[in-house]
Amino acid sequence: MNTTGTLPERIAALRAQVRYHDHRYYVLDDPEIADADYDALFDELVALETAHPEYLTPDSPSQRVGGAPQSAFTTVRHEVPMLSLDKCTTTAELEDWVQRCRKELGAEPLRFTCEPKIDGVAVTLRYEDGGLVLAATRGDGQTGEDITANVRTIGAVPLRLAARTCPPCSRCAARSTCRSQISRRGTSGRGLTGRRPWSTRATARPAACASSTRG
């Protein structure tokens, strides 16, 4: 076990390394280290947090596993309604939509991005002070189900936002809400409960984000 630096510094370094390699594995699909090396980092982190629980924090990568996803959910009301997306199936409908965008945006140039539609579960992710505090399904658009415990098992969803991705604000106490689409590949069923699954991955694709400062 590497004990370079103080204990809190070592724990912080391990968390940073695990988050980095989780991002490369789950999001970029381009791991830099072998699973055995990853497991060594992860196991050292768990061992240190177990021996020194005073340093354990809810956003530690070690808290992503160890608890089964909940099957019973509580209802939460969305701060911002999660409206359904309109669709168009004809050229005329598409042209009408473009004209409405131009009318709303004025002289601002329009830029479009097209990508394949991926079916999945629409969720809202709420971060406060950079930490994940709530994940909820779309539901009826006004209220949804609290699935925070389940989403915390998904490797592609950060438990804490990197400093460079936190929304800009004049105060540290910032709230960021992100609408994402969560989909799963494969059929092994380990995507929500297993650690670093092989044939099943749950991915989160951000669709829209907003942030605000709390009073």
Supply the residues annotated as catalytic.
Answer: 117
Give the pairing of strands 201-213 and 143-145.
unpaired
Provide the strand spans (E) within the chain. 75-77, 121-128, 131-137, 143-145, 174-185, 201-213
Beta strand segments in 150-200, E: 174-185
Q: Quick check: helix, strand or coil at residue 173?
A: coil
**Distance separating alpha carbons of residues 138 and 146, to the nearest angstrom:** 10
User: What's phi and psi for 94, nearest 5 deg?
Assistant: -65, -45
d(CA 127, CA 145): 17
At 100, the amino acid letter reads R
Strand order in the sheet with 131-137: 131-137, 121-128, 174-185, 201-213
